[in-house]
Amino acid sequence: MAQFVIKQTKTGFTFNLKANNKETIATSEVYNTKDSCKRGIKSVKRNAKAHVEDQTAKEVKKVSLPKYEIYKDKKGEFRFRLKAGNAQIIAVGEGYKSLAACKNGIASINKNAAKAEVVDE
């Protein structure tokens, strides 16, 4: 089963959404408290089925919030960020070599987030 894994850092709390195979699908920002981290998880669960805005496309089709934004990083890899209805970034993905792999990461969040259990590391 997929899991949101909460981890305490030196400066607060973060979460990773891990797929059934334990691979990390998405990561959060650093939250000041565990409660705010848990609220971030609820927001990902609530917004996981958002539409995708591919900002790497020749003609970008804008979509309303909440949404996933696909973009290229400085290394030329494809990445995504999930934005909530208030435009806050609530989760980000790793760098992917291909657009298709990036879209698969988003599809995995769509499939797994709603039923993922929350655990402390």
- Confidence tier at 121 by pLDDT (50, 70, 90): confident
Instruction: Tell me the DSSP string of 67-100.
Output: EEEEEE-TTS-EEEEEE-TTS-EEEE---BSSHH
- Domain locations in the chain as residue ranges: 3-120
User: Model-level pTM greater than 0.85?
Assistant: yes
What CATH architecture is 3-120?
Roll (2.30)
Q: Is the pLDDT of residue 3 over 90?
A: yes
Distances (CA, A) of 64 to 28, 53, 85: 21, 9, 8
Query: Which residues make Cβ contacts (< 8 Å) with residue 55, sequence separation at least 6?
Result: 69, 70, 71
Angle, alpha carbons 91-96-97 (nearest 5°): 165
